[in-house]
Amino acid sequence: MLKPSQSLLCLLMLLTALGEISTQLLIPALGDLERGFAAPPGSSLPVLSTFVAAFGLGQLVLGPLSDRFGRRPVLLAGLATYLVATLWLLGAGDLAEFVLARALQGLGACSALVLARAIVRDVWQAQAGPALAMTVIGMLVSIALAPMLGGILTLHWGWQAPLWCSLTVGGMGLLGVVLFYQESNSHLDPQAGRPSKLLGDYMDLFRGRPLRTFALTLACTYGAMFSVIAGSSFIYMRLLGLSTAEYGLVFGGIVSGLIAGALFTQRMIMRLGPERIVAVGVALVLVGAALTLLAHLFFGLSLWGLSLPQVLVTVGGGMLIPASVAGAVIPNAHRAGLASGFMGFAQMAGATLAGVLLGMLQGTTAWPMVVLHSSFAAAAFAAFHLSRNRGAATELSAAR
Q: What angle do CA 341, 166, 353 make, to 5 degrees?
A: 45
Please tell me the predicted confidence (pLDDT) of residue 193.
66
CA-to-CA dists, residue 193 to 106, 196, 236, 269, angstroms: 20, 8, 43, 31
Q: How confident is the model at residue 351 (pLDDT cuts 50, 70, 90)?
A: confident
Topology of the domain covering 8-180+207-399: Growth Hormone; Chain: A; (1.20.1250)
Summarize the confidence of residues 251-257 as an average pLDDT.
81
Q: 308 or 155: whose pLDDT is higher?
A: 308
Please tell me the predicted confidence (pLDDT) of residue 400.
43
Three-class SS string for 248-312? HHHHHHHHHHHHHHHHHHHHHHHHHCHHHHHHHHHHHHHHHHHHHHHHHHHHCCCHHHHHHHHHH
257 close to 142: Cβ distance less than 8 angstroms = no
**Residues whose CB is less than 8 angstroms from the CB of residue 311 and which lie 6 or more positions away in sequence, other chains included:** 254, 257, 288
Q: What angle do CA 72, 77, 80 make, to 5 degrees?
A: 125
Summarize the confidence of residues 131-140 as an average pLDDT.
80
Please tell me the predicted confidence (pLDDT) of residue 329.
82
Please tell me the predicted confidence (pLDDT) of residue 393.
46
**Which pLDDT tens digit goes with each residue over 266-275?**
889 888 999 9
Summarize the confidence of residues 109-129 as an average pLDDT.
85
Please tell me the predicted confidence (pLDDT) of residue 391.
55
Q: Is the pLDDT of residue 399 over 60?
A: no
**Which pLDDT tens digit goes with each residue over 150-197?**
888 988 899 999 999 999 999 999 999 999 898 888 788 777 667 777
Q: 310 or 211: whose pLDDT is higher?
A: 310
Q: What is the mean pLDDT of the chain?
A: 86
**Which pLDDT tens digit goes with each residue over 354-395?**
988 988 887 788 999 999 999 999 999 999 999 876 654 444
Summarize the confidence of residues 94-107 as an average pLDDT.
94
Highest-pLDDT range among 19-23, 187-191, 291-295, 352-356: 291-295
What sign does the dihedral 104-108-110-111 (CA atoms) show? positive
Domain boundaries, the chain: 8-180+207-399
Q: How confident is the model at residue 133 (pLDDT cuts 50, 70, 90)?
A: confident
Summarize the confidence of residues 310-319 as an average pLDDT.
94
DSSP-derived secondary structure for 204-258: HHHTSHHHHHHHHHHHHHHHHHHHHHHHHHIIIIIIS---HHHHHHHHHHHHHHH
Alpha-carbon gap, residue 253 to 308, rounded angstroms:
10
Residue 92 backbone dihedrals phi, psi, to 5 degrees: -65, 145
Distance, CA of 236 to chain centre:
22
Alpha-carbon gap, residue 267 to 277, rounded angstroms:
11
227 close to 390: Cβ distance less than 8 angstroms = no
Q: How many helices (H) does the chain have, and how many strands (E)?
A: 14, 0
Summarize the confidence of residues 240-267 as an average pLDDT.
84
Alpha-carbon gap, residue 378 to 286, rounded angstroms:
6
Greatest alpha-carbon span in the chain: 68
Within a 10 A sphere around the Cβ of 239, how many other Cβ atoms?
A: 13
pTM of this structure: 0.76
DSSP state of 366: S
147 close to 248: Cβ distance less than 8 angstroms = yes
